[in-house]
């Protein structure tokens, strides 16, 4: 059995990309193999989070690089099977650490952490909409300027996508700006994405109109999800991304057969 009561940016983007993928991840909760890219991102996020535990003058690239090994060991202690599966030998571990170092050097090329005092790091955020749908997710970093302005920051360890493929990250940041508005009735001043893989940043300043449009977009998206759940019609959507989808062997669009949909006992707004 499953309930559809909450939505995160990643699950919302899953549905936009492919309704069946959303179902298999959110309702069926089918396991997926870990990926090197995702683990590398988790490692770098962990190092950057810990970096701000130090006093401002100590937030150096040397300290960040020195933090790679202990952060990796902490992740290994938490999930040794994943680390062993992805990085079975010392050569693979060394390569991972070198890649993490390169990404941390990219971060320091984009920002000076000794000039910041984050208000929150890796913070779980949530807020209910009037419909009863709970919006939730994790914000990498929240900064508050002396004048009170709020900046939400997200680290991406990949490269900045071409404009036609930037919608997913843009939606994610607008989603978090909406959650901030719903929970605090405060308009976020700046949304900033750090693409460490390409050493680039994307900065946007959302307006009240942007927040309102995002809220309507999410309501319309949730209505589509609710209709799919009520009719049990989770249509697959073929795209170039299918080549990277773990569920391709059981996808009807590729000749596969998915398992029966688990019973859905509750849907927000229904």
Judgement on whether residues 127 and 181 belong to the same structural domain of the protein: yes
Number of domains in the chain: 2
Terminal Cα distance for the chain, rounded: 17
Judgement on whether residues 132 and 213 belong to the same structural domain of the protein: yes
**Position 166 confidence tier, pLDDT thresholds 50, 70, 90:** confident
- The average pLDDT across 194-200 equals 98
Q: Is 117 left (phi over 0), alpha (psi -120 to 50) or beta?
A: beta
Judgement on whether residues 126 and 203 belong to the same structural domain of the protein: yes
Judgement on whether residues 77 and 131 belong to the same structural domain of the protein: no
> Which of 200, 218, 236 finishes a domain?
218
On whether residue 227 sits in a domain, the answer given is no
Judgement on whether residues 89 and 134 belong to the same structural domain of the protein: no
Q: Has residue 154 got a pLDDT over 90?
A: yes
Q: Which domain holds residue 172?
A: 117-218
The answer to whether the beta carbons of residues 18 and 146 sit under 8 Å apart is: no
On whether residue 101 sits in a domain, the answer given is yes
Chain position carrying tokens 């060991």? 73
Judgement on whether residues 105 and 186 belong to the same structural domain of the protein: no
On whether residue 259 sits in a domain, the answer given is no
Average pLDDT over all residues of the chain: 97
Q: Model-level pTM greater than 0.75? A: yes
On whether residue 94 sits in a domain, the answer given is yes
On whether residue 185 sits in a domain, the answer given is yes
Judgement on whether residues 129 and 206 belong to the same structural domain of the protein: yes
User: Quick one: pLDDT at residue 101?
Assistant: 99
* 262 closest CA partner among 59, 5, 4: 4
Q: Has residue 32 got a pLDDT over 90?
A: yes
On whether residue 214 sits in a domain, the answer given is yes
CA dist 130 and 251 (Å) reads 35
Judgement on whether residues 42 and 109 belong to the same structural domain of the protein: yes
Judgement on whether residues 101 and 133 belong to the same structural domain of the protein: no
CA distances in angstroms from 253 to 39, 234, 257, listed in the order given:
29, 12, 9
> Which of 70, 88, 115 finishes a domain?
115
Which percentage of the chain shows pLDDT scores above 90?
97
On whether residue 257 sits in a domain, the answer given is no
Judgement on whether residues 141 and 200 belong to the same structural domain of the protein: yes
Q: Report angle CA 49, 51, 53 to the nearest 5 degrees.
A: 85
Judgement on whether residues 137 and 212 belong to the same structural domain of the protein: yes
> Which of 174, 200, 218 finishes a domain?
218
Judgement on whether residues 95 and 124 belong to the same structural domain of the protein: no
CATH of the domain at 123: 3.90.320.10
On whether residue 21 sits in a domain, the answer given is no
């Amino acid at each position: 059995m499953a309930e559809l009561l909450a939505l995160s940016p990643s699950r919302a983007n899953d549905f936009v990309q492919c309704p069946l993928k959303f179902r298999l991840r959110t309702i069926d909760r089918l396991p997926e193999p870990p990926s090197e890219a995702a683990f590398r991102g988790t490692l770098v996020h962990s190092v950057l989070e810990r970096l701000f535990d130090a006093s401002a003058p100590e937030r150096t690239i040397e300290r960040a690089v020195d933090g790679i090994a202990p952060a990796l060991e902490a992740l290994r202690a938490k999930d040794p099977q994943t680390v062993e599966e992805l990085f079975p030998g010392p050569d693979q571990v060394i390569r991972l650490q070198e890649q993490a170092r390169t990404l941390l050097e990219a971060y320091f090329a984009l920002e000076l952490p000794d000039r910041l005092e984050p208000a929150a790091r890796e913070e779980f955020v949530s807020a209910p909409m009037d419909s009863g749908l709970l919006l939730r997710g994790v914000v990498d970093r929240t900064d508050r300027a002396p004048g009170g302005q709020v900046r939400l920051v997200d680290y991406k360890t990949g490269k900045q996508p071409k404009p036609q493929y930037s919608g997913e990250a843009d939606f994610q940041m607008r989603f978090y700006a909406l959650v901030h508005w719903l929970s605090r009735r405060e308009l976020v001043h700046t949304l900033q994405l750090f693409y460490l893989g390409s050493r680039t940043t994307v900065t946007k300043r959302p307006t009240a109109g942007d927040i309102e449009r995002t809220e309507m977009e999410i309501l319309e998206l949730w209505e589509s999800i609710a209709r799919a759940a009520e009719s049990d019609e989770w249509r697959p959507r073929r795209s170039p991304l299918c080549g990277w989808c773990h569920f391709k062997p059981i996808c009807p669009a590729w000749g596969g057969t998915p398992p029966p949909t688990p019973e859905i006992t509750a849907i927000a707004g229904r």
